[in-house]
Amino acid sequence: MSTLTTVDDATAPQTRVDGSFGGKSSGRAFKDQLARVVMWTAFFVALIPLVWILAATFVKGGRMLLDIDWWTVSQSGITARREGGGAVHAIQGTLIQAGVTALISVPIGVLTAVYLVEYGRGRLAKAVSFMVDILTGIPSIVAGLFIYALWVTTFNFQRVGFAVCLALTMLMIPTVVRSTEEMLKLVPNELREASYALGVPKWKTIMKVVVPTAFSGIVTGILLGLARVMGETAPLIILGPYTPVIATNLFDGLMPTLPTMIYQNYPESLQPSVDRTWGAALTLILIIFILNLLGRFIGRFSKVRS
Amino acid sequence: MLGTDPLLFFERFCTVKIQRLGAMASLALVGSIALAGCGSDNTSDTTDSGSGDNASSASADCFEGTLNAEGSSAQKNAFEEVAAGYKAKCSGAQVNYNPSGSGAGIKQFIAGQVDFAGSDSALKTEPKDGVVEAEAAAKACGSPAWNLPMVTGPIAIAYNLEGVDKLVLTPAVAADIFSGKITTWNDPKIAAINEGVELPATPIKPFFRSDESGTTENFTKYLKAAAPENWAGEPAKSWTGKGEGKAKSAGVAEGVKSTPGGITYVEWSYAKDNDLGVAQVDNGAGAVELNSESVGKAVATAEQTGTGNDLALKLDYATKEPGAYPINLVTYEIVCSKGKDAEKQKNIKAFLKYFASEEAQKTIEEIGYAPLPAEVEKKVQTAIDAIS
Amino acid sequence: MSSITGHSVTDELPHDDGRPPLDADKAGTGRLGDRIFGGLATGSGIFVIALVTLVGVFLIAQAVPSLLNNNANFLTSREWVPSGTDPRFGIVDLLWATVVTSIIAMLIAVPLGVSVALFITQYAPSWLSRPAAALVDLLAAVPSIVYGFWGLKVAGDYFQPVAKFTDTVLGWLPFFEWGGRPSAKSTLAFAGIILAIMILPIVTAISREVFSQVPTAHKEGALALGATKWEMIRTAVLPFGKPGVISAAMLGLGRALGETLAVTLLLSALNPSAPFSFSIFGGGETFASRIANDAGEFDSPQKTGAYIAAGLVLFILTFIVNAAARVVIERRKAFTE
């Protein structure tokens, strides 16, 4: 992701010869300055919400995270008006669901990318690529509705954690496909040719040469995709309502998560509940940011770069 | 560049092997945190030893195992409170409640997916979508299914009006307010029933539940029954009157709290939590304040429509009984009178016995429900004893 | 690393060196391992196609029975009573709220996002451009429910004076009328602003990538002719980046249309008998927020079907927008080749 900065402020010509742009007038210089000011302002305006959200969440929710209970106990038996309890049930639920979602979507996503880059040509490849784009654009609530239509109304199953994972999988597959595809395309063809020349079969070439070369980049893409689905709430509201107790079985009963914990508590105006909601929001942001940073960090080690 | 980018600096000292290890390790880390399964449901205040007979409070029959119930979200808070209390006594007993709605609860009960259902309304005896609930449930149980009233949730008419601590509303005036016919607080119709109260000229801003809700259904049932001339809409789970919609009970309560001149109908507990004014209701026999006594009185006078131990009640919303608060929501536990699984029935019996006990009913009073009045409680206990 | 937005322009560019995937079928013929692996990869690709098809088929299959029972016109009715013996439901209000909030979001996010992208690629000193891009990307990492909660509890209160001011100055226009109800943070306008913040990263990321691909020769040529930096941007960077910006805007729009939680938390619903209003300072519910609000009470197939029908419309809407974005990108590809 090298940014082109060949035209730098310092090197830009300060005095200009009269050319097709006409003489240097104060009007043009003014416009130029104005544009500069506008761009800088736009950047700072864009940062306001980020800083504001982070500051608000830290100030209002930070206290909750300092309590050891937050990380060790659930909300079982704690009602909105009572202080105490923790968020471990929701943290666990979020991590378990994210883990299982990754487990399902990574193989499918990576294989689809391998198909697109290494095998695909012709109509089918075009169709797959198009469908991946459509999948990228599917609103998360529609993904939730689809799984509901499949899991609950068609198969008559209960709403369980695994159904949530399926919905999240739909949202994660396209991000994994796109980022992996990008990385695989960057692997030089010379590497493949060298491998084939040594008589290595195609599948081994892909597994032992192409994928390992792009490995860090693929992992980055996966972590960033995971970070995205972790914050998804809409499918969870439809498929996995909140429950205040620890649940680790994906196939039995409801599984609490951080987003549903926030959703359950957001309208409450009782202080203990409000505090917990901010606490849950902060915890969720922290987990997602850590994944993001981890992803970017690993991305730096990538042997192939755009 | 080195100064501003420590990562890049670090990168130069890393070898290829370590990179892959690092990436794998981080993935493994994410996985292991997720599956570590640490933490517990036990909070510090529920450290009862958990033996059956606890000397400090009334004893409860204990069982080992899990019960699953599903249904009305109106009784969710009460149910969870009681389930937590029961677990504190019997550490081996886990009672789960899935608040997916009354209809869903009954459906699951008939399908045999849950051990008992929670519902805002008793099993219907007339066909709905081609199914007679009561018959289907009896067929599923192999015996009649009973409706046991367990949780009473009064619905408050909550308002936010500075300087007005006491407000009386008649059903007709309430209906006019919620259907947009009365639009300011100092309307002569309101003033007429609130003599001596200084009403401001603030516009009235009604809030309603934008999600479907049993509270809306019961409140509109009340308006329709007590003021049929002023309330045109049919009682339904979705709102048919005027106002601004907010999701969930807490949402409407919050809306009223942040809006001077706001008014809404909401479960009592939410009105209390938000320090909202609660209107007294005058059904024709004088203004009645909302408290557990006045609610109990209304429930006690309700007509029993079920036979024998089936305690389906019919609340008289238009009741003129002095001192009875008329807007209530009674939620039931729906159980098999004689189950196919004797062990399960015993467990259900033990839990419900605790639920109906004075002790459990008192704990739910703290969170804004009203306890069952004594005579109803007695009937419920008798019915529970007859479960087998 | 724009993959955080799930989309990258590099995907759409022709292969770096213009060659098709290396054809090594000879290396792979006959061997079991190859057939299995190739089959798996192709299978995954087909699975993705099947998945999207299934989404469409399932949503249609479950929506149709409800739609047939519907006693109101689904496309022109403003009612929403999906259950009972006389189900009547239509999408007019939902469509209006969805489109209005998304358009407000676009009107804010596209100019802002393009400016930020120009800042990052053209104006920022080189030490700043990378961290600046990362910071804007971090906006995409904040979960949507947190945006909603923040808007509801923190930022919303600061919107009250803005709404009041707009009402006094422009209130004579039906679009900006605001009677003090619902409270400013529950209006379509404010939901649109929150959506704008949420789609800002995707608009910025895509614009940034196209801007950074402007051939240096174009830029230096403009400068050599004596253009100021702004003139260089106007004559070299923006025309080159235009298709990219358009597709960025479309993808942002697609995101905004389907965004659920931030909107659900903020918006006040209209009562069933409220007159239709053109004002952006009114309440309403979007497709997504209506579905999310009632998700707890899907208790009969008839009712569930009605919500699925609403979801289907949303799906079709985003499908069209995303496909349009795709077409714009394809055309640019043809242009640059």
- Which residues in B lie closer than 8 A to residue A95 (C-beta atoms)? 30, 33-34
Output C86 or B18, whichever has higher pLDDT.
Answer: C86
Mean pLDDT of chain B: 80
Nearest CB to A99; choose among B14, B30, B257 = B30
Query: Distance (Å) from the C-alpha of residue A90 to the closest C-alpha of chain C?
Result: 15
The answer to whether residue A71 is domain-embedded is: no
Q: Supply the CATH classification number for the domain C69-336.
A: 1.10.3720.10
Residue A6 placed within a domain: no
C28 near A CB under 8 A: yes
10-residue averages of pLDDT along chain A (306 residues): 43 46 72 93 93 94 88 76 82 94 95 91 88 88 91 83 93 93 90 89 89 90 89 88 82 87 83 90 94 87 64
What token pair was written down for C263? Answer: 């909107």
- Is a pLDDT exceeding 80 seen at residue B34? no
**Of A232, A288, A285, A292, whose CA–CA distance to A263 is shortest?**
A232
Question: How far, in Å, CA of A46 to CA of C139, rounded?
Answer: 9
Distances (CA, A) of C316 to A4, A134, A139, C55: 38, 10, 11, 11
In terms of CATH, what superfamily is B154-299? Periplasmic binding protein-like II (3.40.190.10)
Give the confidence band of B6 by pLDDT, cuts at 50, 70, 90. very low
CA distances C282 to B4, B246, C14, C60, C189, Å, are: 48, 14, 46, 32, 8
Minimal CA separation from C64 to chain A, in Å: 13
- Give domain status of residue A76, yes or no: no
Q: How many CB atoms lie within 10 A of CB C270?
A: 24
Pairing of strands B313-314, B328-336: unpaired
Question: What one-character-per-residue DSSP string does B124-169 give?
Answer: PSS-BTTB-HHHHHHHHHTS-EEEEEEEEEEEEEEE--TT----EE
Q: Are B141 and B116 in contact (CB under 8 A)?
A: no
Residue B269 corresponds to which tokens in the numbers above? 């507990």
Q: Which of residues 100-129 of C touch B (CB under 8 A)?
A: 127
Q: Which two tokens stand for residue C326?
A: 């795709």
Of A134, A96, A229, the C-alpha closest to A172 is A229
Question: Any CB–CB contact under 8 A between A85 and chain B?
Answer: yes
- State the Cα–Cα distance between residues C139 and C199, nearest whole angstrom: 9
Residue pair C252/C105 in contact (Cβ under 8 Å)? The answer is yes
Average pLDDT over residues C261-271: 87
Give the C-alpha separation, B142 to B345, whole Å: 13
User: What is the C-alpha separation between B384 and B335, in angstroms, rounded?
Assistant: 10
- Least confident interval from A107-111, B186-190, B213-217, C245-249: B213-217
B245 and C283 in contact by Cβ < 8 A?
Answer: yes
Distance (Å, rounded) from C-alpha B10 to C-alpha B19? 12
Facing B103 at nearest CB: one of C182, C283, C299:
C299
User: Picking from A37-51, B343-357, C126-140, C323-337, which range would have the lowest pLDDT averaged per residue?
Assistant: C323-337
| Burial readout C273-297 (b: 16 or more C-beta within 10 A, e: otherwise) | ebeebebbbbbbbbbbbbbbbbbbb
Contact (CB<8Å) A76/B84: yes
Question: B96 forms bridges with which residues in the sheet?
Answer: B68
Gyration radius of chain A's alpha carbons: 25
SS3 of A68, please? helix
pLDDT of residue B129: 66
Is pLDDT above 50 for C114?
Answer: yes
Residue in C286, C290, C276, C278 with CA at minimum distance from that of residue C317: C286
Helix (H) or strand (E) holding B16: helix B16-36
Q: What CATH class is the domain B6-151+336-385? A: alpha beta
**How far is Cα C291 from Cα A234, in angstroms, rounded to an integer?**
9
Look at C271 and B212 and tell me if their CB atoms are within 8 Å: no
Range of the domain at A288: 84-299
Helix axes C92-118, C188-212, angle to 10 degrees: 40
| pLDDT computed for residue C180 by the predictor | 63
Q: Which residues from chain A sit within 8 angstroms of residue B246, using beta carbons?
A: 267
Closest CA to C289 of C95, C50, C136: C95
Question: pTM to 2 decimals?
Answer: 0.83
Residue C308 contacts A, CB cutoff 8 Å: yes
Q: Which of A134, A139, A225 sits opposite C258 (nearest CB)?
A: A139
> How many residues in chain B?
388
Residue C258 in contact with residue C318, Cβ under 8 Å?
yes
A176-185, B98-107, B284-293: least confident range? B98-107
Q: What is the domain partition of chain C in residue ranges?
A: 17-66, 69-336
Mean pLDDT of chain C: 84
Number of domains observed in the structure of chain A: 1
Please state whether the peptide bond connecting residue C65 to the residue before it is cis, i.e. omega within 30 degrees of 0: no
Pair A132, A177: CB distance under 8 Å: yes
What DSSP character marks residue B91? T
* pLDDT number for residue B246: 87
User: Partners for A (CB, 8 Å, 3+ pairs)?
Assistant: B, C
Per-residue pLDDT reduced to its tens digit, B70-95 = 888 778 888 888 888 888 888 888 88
- pLDDT interval class at B113 (50, 70, 90): confident
